[in-house]
Amino acid sequence: MDNEFNIQEQTSLSLSTRLALFWRHGDQLFKAIIIIAAALIIVLGTAIGYELWINSELSRKAFGLSFLFSTRWDPAIDRMFGAFPFIQGTLVTSFIALLFAVPIGLGVAIFLAELAPTWLSRPLGLLVELLAAVPSVVYGFWGLFAFIPFLVRPLSESLNQHLGFLPIFQGPVFGPSRLAAGLILAIMILPTISAVSRDVFRAIPVTQREASLALGATRWETISQVLVPYGLSGLLGAVILGLGRALGETIAVTMVIGNNLDISSSVLHPGYTMASIIANEFTEATYDLYLHALIEVALILFIVTLGMNMIARLLVWRVSGKTKHEARA
Amino acid sequence: MNRVMINPKVHSLHNYRRKTTNMIMLVLAGVSTVIAIVPLVWILFYVIIKGAAALSWDFFTKLPTPAGVPGGGLANAVVGSVITVGIGVIIAAPVGVLAAFYLLSSQTKPFGQVVRFATDVIAGVPSIVMGIFAYTLIVLPQGHFSALAGGIVLAFIMLPIIVRTTEEMLKLVPNSLREGSLALGATEWRSSFSIILPAAFNGVLTGLMLAIARGAGEAAPMLFTAFGNPFMSVSLNEPIATLPQTIFVYAISPYKDWQAKAWATALVLIVLVFSLNILSRVIIWWRARQLGSGNR
């Protein structure tokens, strides 16, 4: 009865008052809509994991944990699938990438955040970040036609010549190789590492620097003994973010790694990564088990990169504080 | 300088070493910045030289010719890229902007933190994994590759970029504007759409531009969603060619004229992506200075 009365009363109100009432109720609707939009992001993340899990069932049931350690990837004859060659390839290329990108990336961050004046650090920072904007396929194309013939191949040959007694530099020398992929990845993750660690340095209170300099420390001593320890977890986060990017990078790696299933200790040998096997064979997967095996590779990649990113973000957040602007990767 | 020390000789040697180390390390930091920029310059010059030679008006207006037949263009891939990126933006932009409003209104709430965290984490999911996800979600049930699937996977990739950039730009709008609007009796959502959004319009545009730049360059997820198509297609239900996926196919082909077309495509893509990135960054700096906030 109360309800009826209310409706009657409302209909007797003027149009403008009713509109005003609607606007107020609109607030509730607005709140609901923006919460749903925000929740969609979490739904998206969950749905990715769910779909990959469901659609890799045949492979998970058939091979279990041995999928991770088996070196046999034989879709043509025995229909046996083991992802070890790709896991190894991914680890080796990512390691090479970190080896080069971490010191250079930190150097860039230190230069941009601590040394260069604003008029210089701003355009330079933009240039370095533009490296992140170059499409992956352009990196691969350039790698194939310019980077490998002019730099990687000569480098590989001299490494093989002088250090060929080491298993990791054994020949024969090919153009496309794990080294080529690792070096391209180094260039690709450099902007991630330098941009995030630059923001970490900038988030450190200026009093830390002043105190250290006032005590007579040089600028390098201030950086290495005060700022780096202070921002250590954030810098670690930057490196892990870079690693996460290296693990999942696909097209550029597919174009320069040579796509070879051999397990070799040599970085000069062509290889395969988890991402590149998916890019190369997914549309050729003619039967369900094959398809599911490839999706399981994607599942592993998803879980690993998810874990990496969670750790990295938590580490970066710890330094820059939750309300401050966090670095974009 | 340090006359207080008891043994000035030893001390000056020590200081000399400290200063030298300082000098060397600071120079090394500068050198690494130069090293970091070398690949950018190399790629840029290489793509411009190779691409400019192969670029012509036909590139945008004509369809591909069979390998070995000179002439022709990549109008199909240009159209395909516009369609897939367009679908991506149409889906991701409204959701992203609304989610950013939620994050703005819940700076300290736990769910807001969870969403912010999830957004950052999802931004790090490899695009190839996104491609597989879209394949299982759309291509597998439908039974065929399609432009729609390609657009949707781009939406997934763009969403976190739009959310985070938009939130940062909404945060730059002074709170007094919002409070003023509320004090005048406007509701929360009218303040959001009529006051905050227009004030942050350039910023929101920035997020969209960065998202478009990212989506326009994605090749990996397109391999098994949009798939590629040598013919002109504007249907959402058919496979469709895109620029980055065409580069991939043409670059690893043995035909010289296909490779030349791939360079031209790379040039078009790089010019597009770089101008979007530079423009958006200029807008961000300009906004930050205008609004006098601490954002860099």
pLDDT at B284: 81
Q: Give domain limits for chain A.
A: 15-54, 59-320
Do B127 and A135 lie within an 8 Å CB cutoff? no
In this structure, what DSSP letter does residue B239 have? -
Do A283 and B273 lie within an 8 Å CB cutoff? no
Q: Give domain limits for chain B.
A: 58-290
Residues 58..97 of A with a Cβ closer than 8 Å to B: which? none
pLDDT at A328: 38
Nearest beta carbon to residue B99 from set A26, A41, A278: A41
Burial (0-12, 13-18, 19+ Cβ within 10 Å), A117: exposed
User: Where does the pLDDT of residue B7 fall: very low under 50, low under 70, confident under 90, or very high at 90 and above?
Assistant: low
Nearest beta carbon to residue A133 from set B21, B273, B295: B273
If one compares B25 and A1, the residue with the highest pLDDT of the two is B25
Identify the top-confidence range among A126-130, B20-24, B185-189.
Answer: B20-24
Question: Per residue in B136-159, pLDDT tens?
Answer: 999 999 999 999 999 999 999 999
Contacts of B19 in chain A (CB under 8 A): 218
Distance from the A1 Cα atom to the nearest Cα atom in chain B, whole angstroms: 30
User: Where does the pLDDT of residue B4 fall: very low under 50, low under 70, confident under 90, or very high at 90 and above?
Assistant: low
User: Where does the pLDDT of residue A22 fall: very low under 50, low under 70, confident under 90, or very high at 90 and above?
Assistant: low
Residues B175-191, mean pLDDT to the nearest whole number? 88
Distance from the A164 Cα atom to the nearest Cα atom in chain B, whole angstroms: 27
A304 touches B at CB < 8 Å = no
If one compares A322 and B182, the residue with the highest pLDDT of the two is B182
Distance from the A327 Cα atom to the nearest Cα atom in chain B, whole angstroms: 10
B51 touches A at CB < 8 Å = no
A133 touches B at CB < 8 Å = yes
Question: Per residue in B121-130, pLDDT tens?
Answer: 999 999 999 9
Alpha helices in B106-126 (DSSP H): 110-123
Rounded CA-CA distance B73/B65 in Å is 7
Rounded CA-CA distance A153/B228 in Å is 32
Contacts of A128 in chain B (CB under 8 A): 33, 36-37, 40
pLDDT at B46: 96
Nearest beta carbon to residue B122 from set A26, A45, A139: A45
| Contact between residue A33 and residue B189 where contact means Cβ atoms under 8 Å apart | no
Mean pLDDT of chain B: 89
Name the phi and psi angles at B55, rounded to 5. -90, 135
pLDDT at A321: 61
Q: Which tokens sit at A229?
A: 């320890």
Residues 63..92 of B with a Cβ closer than 8 Å to A: which? none
Q: Which residues contact A21 (CB under 8 A, 6 or more apart)?
A: A10, A13
- DSSP assignment of A250-301, as one string? -HHHHHHS-------S-TTS----HHHHHHHHGGG--SHHHHHHHHHHHHHH
pLDDT at B54: 87
pLDDT at A299: 96
User: Where does the pLDDT of residue B275 fall: very low under 50, low under 70, confident under 90, or very high at 90 and above?
Assistant: very high
A315 touches B at CB < 8 Å = no
pLDDT at A8 over 60: no
Nearest beta carbon to residue B37 from set A42, A127, A144: A127
User: Where does the pLDDT of residue A23 fall: very low under 50, low under 70, confident under 90, or very high at 90 and above?
Assistant: low
User: Where does the pLDDT of residue B288 fall: very low under 50, low under 70, confident under 90, or very high at 90 and above?
Assistant: confident
If one compares A191 and A328, the residue with the highest pLDDT of the two is A191
- Where is A81: in which H helix or E strand? strand A80-81
The number of angstroms, rounded, from the C-alpha of A297 to the middle of its chain's C-alpha atoms is 17
Other residues' Cβ atoms within 10 Å of the Cβ of residue B95:
21
CA atoms within 13 A on the CB side of A216: 4
Do B124 and A129 lie within an 8 Å CB cutoff? no
**Superfamily of segment(s) B58-290:** MetI-like (1.10.3720.10)
pLDDT at A215 over 50: yes
Q: Which of A149, A180, A152 is nearest to A252 (CA)?
A: A180
Residues A259-287, mean pLDDT to the nearest whole number? 91
Question: Per residue in B61-91, pLDDT tens?
Answer: 888 888 777 778 899 999 999 999 999 999 9
B127 touches A at CB < 8 Å = yes
If one compares A75 and A9, the residue with the highest pLDDT of the two is A75
pLDDT at B294: 44
User: Where does the pLDDT of residue B35 fall: very low under 50, low under 70, confident under 90, or very high at 90 and above?
Assistant: very high
Question: Chains A, B: CB contacts under 8 A, how many?
Answer: 284
A311 touches B at CB < 8 Å = no
Test mutation, A138, A183, A245, A322, chain B, max B CBs within 10 A: A138
A23 touches B at CB < 8 Å = yes
pLDDT at B278: 92
Contacts of B217 in chain A (CB under 8 A): 133-138
**Superfamily of segment(s) A59-320:** MetI-like (1.10.3720.10)
Q: Which of B262, B167, B226 is nearest to A34 (CA)?
A: B167
Do B99 and A40 lie within an 8 Å CB cutoff? yes
Residues A299-324, mean pLDDT to the nearest whole number? 82
| Contact between residue A57 and residue A292 where contact means Cβ atoms under 8 Å apart | yes
